[in-house]
Chain A
């Protein structure tokens, strides 16, 4: 969420010269008070300053403008990644866009404090009080030294450089470029807040019967399906190097495991006549759990992926269906859907199929169908969707207390999938009038569309992607 000065919820002090004086006074007396930046609409006259004090807000982050222009794409990607992490108040410098140079450097100079020269983007001599006045806790500068990109993270409150990252980025045209820049953004987040980011992650989803991948910031959509058959239910392996999915063949559903880097795929062993669907990797990547529909009904099975053997049946439904398995991150348990009580609801069992029990509580005869569970990477939650008054809504089950809370209420929302940070969810929603993928941050409630295209569904968010999984042919 970007913060711009002069918005309606901020007290504006006038006349402007008095405000500027006051700003200086407040700064000198009480440096921890956050001040907003100049209103971009009047910055040229340099007369208006908004002041706001908001305790408990997220740390302010400003991405410094600067040269060279070759870093514009890097700066744009990093700025968006930091914004989409939902952990910062992104501060928009006067001029409207923090990635554009121009007006930003001038207030620095005109303030009469610590002239920096070089547009404020250089590592040395940042005007910390000014950026503190703008509400920034951190400032990130990008620079280019021959073939190396240098990212400098300034700790504004401490008045010094927190960390400097030097990285040789692949050329702009390389398929590895964006992922490498996403990793830089994650390093900035790690260095500033000590939290691992999700910038270097992707999502798989199904559109027009094909499997696609897309960066978490909504860019770089690519086809990964390797056949013309109708595909469903992509699922990542925990190492981020493989994914599994289902394809309709004549009269049955065939599971495949595909290598991300090479695009090569192998059929998972089946009896050849069953409808196998909703694959889910065990966290160690050795086992694939899935649903198998036969005339008797649908049940959860596992197969040994390494040896492509050893089919095991975990549930015996008889007159009910059991499907959509999802492993806990420790590999000990599997949450799944069962119709044993009538409508489908969320159950849990040990990974060997024993100790089956209800997981997400429901009121018999009242609560609607619950489906599509996915266990969060931190193990604390299971996201799923539930029929509420004839439409689907995303719910989150707290694993420890076994309580559920409804996350969405606008439109139809379904098939949630966790980001590797366990605080973002991607799901399908028709809230904009057509079905597309949206991402919500559970901490702030902030929501954004991942795609502007309709028809995307069944998203699967990757783990943090390893370096070597970067390239895709």
Chain B
């Protein structure tokens, strides 16, 4: 029973304190301040604006980056296409001959540069003949024509393993006529990409 008097005392003290307190203490709850609200709103708006601007800037930057990437891809594609076209340029031969003509050496030099600039590139050279020779002998002659181009390229430092050769004799003419114009076009070497030709560097 000793705790009860303490509680009573505490209650009395509290009552006494309350009785001699006089006027109540001022309200401490915040009063709205118009100026600070406006400031805060401004700050908030500024922040949002900044964020939006940043986002726009980022988007713009990204867009530009994407554009740049696309542009460079297109440029690269254009380059690849240009290099492919250079690579596909045919060389031609005299009747029943397989030696490289002097005016075709430059064409082969260009192919050497391309092969040097694109070390993963592998190609196939196919030799072709006109219809005047013997059908079966022309397979051997076409083989000579493909091989002489390969030998030229290899003699300028290109790895022989990067070049395949094949002969189609007179079986795949590109000009169908039966005159010297057509024959001259058909006595040729063609160059095609076997692998490593997806993105070619200009030499």
Evaluate whether A293 and B168 lie within 8 angstroms (CB atoms) in the complex, with A232-B135, A251-B124, A392-B134 already known.
no
Interface string of B138-181 (1 = CB under 8 A from A): 01110110010011000000000000111110010000000000
Evaluate whether A291 and B171 lie within 8 angstroms (CB atoms) in the complex, with A369-B134, A414-B134 already known.
no
- Bound-complex Cα distance A8 to B184 (A): 51
- Bound-complex Cα distance A30 to B123 (A): 82
Among B137, B141, B166, B171, point to the contact of A251 (Cβ < 8 A). Answer: B166
Q: Quick one: which of B106-154 are within 8 Å of A by CB?
A: 124, 132-137, 139-141, 143-144, 147, 150-151
Q: CB distance B167 to A275 under 8 Å?
A: yes
Select from chain B the residue with minimum beta-carbon distance to A295: B147
Shortest Cβ distance from residue A145 to the other chain B in the assembled complex, whole angstroms: 50
Shortest Cβ distance from residue A430 to the other chain B in the assembled complex, whole angstroms: 10
Please indicate the chain A residues that have their CB under 8 angstroms from the CB of B168 in the complex.
Answer: 248
Please indicate the chain A residues that have their CB under 8 angstroms from the CB of B124 in the complex.
Answer: 251
Q: CB distance B139 to A277 under 8 Å?
A: yes
Evaluate whether A369 and B140 lie within 8 angstroms (CB atoms) in the complex, with A248-B171, A251-B124, A252-B166 already known.
no
- Bound-complex Cα distance A277 to B165 (A): 16
Among B133, B143, B151, point to the contact of A293 (Cβ < 8 A). Answer: B143
Q: State whether the Cβ of B96 lies closer than 8 Å to any Cβ in chain A.
A: yes
Among A248, A277, A339, point to the contact of B136 (Cβ < 8 A). Answer: A277
Chain A interface SS verdict (over half): strand
- Bound-complex Cα distance A314 to B124 (A): 28
- Bound-complex Cα distance A321 to B132 (A): 18
Q: How many residues of B contact A (CB 8 A)?
A: 22
Select from chain B the residue with minimum beta-carbon distance to A253: B139
Chain B interface SS verdict (over half): mixed
Please indicate the chain B residues that have their CB under 8 angstroms from the CB of A372 in the complex.
Answer: 134-137
Q: CB distance B140 to A321 under 8 Å?
A: yes
Select from chain B the residue with minimum beta-carbon distance to A386: B134
- Bound-complex Cα distance A321 to B140 (A): 7
Q: Quick one: which of A218-258 are within 8 Å of B by CB?
A: 230, 232-233, 248, 251-253
Select from chain A the residue with minimum beta-carbon distance to B126: A251
Evaluate whether A369 and B139 lie within 8 angstroms (CB atoms) in the complex, with A251-B164, A293-B167 already known.
no
Among A291, A297, A415, point to the contact of B139 (Cβ < 8 A). Answer: A291
Shortest Cβ distance from residue A408 to the other chain B in the assembled complex, whole angstroms: 15
Select from chain A the residue with minimum beta-carbon distance to B124: A251
- Bound-complex Cα distance A295 to B140 (A): 10
Q: Quick one: which of A269-301 are within 8 Å of B by CB?
A: 275, 277-278, 291, 293-295, 297-298
Q: Which 4 A-B pairs have the closest CB atoms?
A: A371-B134, A293-B143, A298-B140, A321-B140
A275-B139, A291-B140 known; 13 new pairs, CB 8 Å cut-off, are: A230-B171, A232-B135, A232-B136, A253-B139, A275-B167, A293-B143, A297-B140, A297-B144, A321-B140, A344-B137, A372-B137, A414-B135, A415-B135
Give the interface of A toward B (CB within 8 A): 209, 230, 232-233, 248, 251-253, 275, 277-278, 291, 293-295, 297-298, 321, 323-324, 337, 339, 343-344, 369, 371-372, 385, 390, 392, 414-415, 457-458
What are 28 A-to-B residue pairs whose CB atoms are below 8 Å?
A209-B171, A232-B135, A251-B166, A275-B139, A275-B143, A275-B166, A291-B139, A293-B139, A294-B143, A295-B143, A297-B143, A297-B144, A298-B140, A321-B137, A321-B140, A323-B137, A323-B139, A323-B140, A337-B137, A369-B96, A369-B133, A369-B134, A369-B137, A371-B133, A371-B134, A372-B134, A390-B132, A415-B135
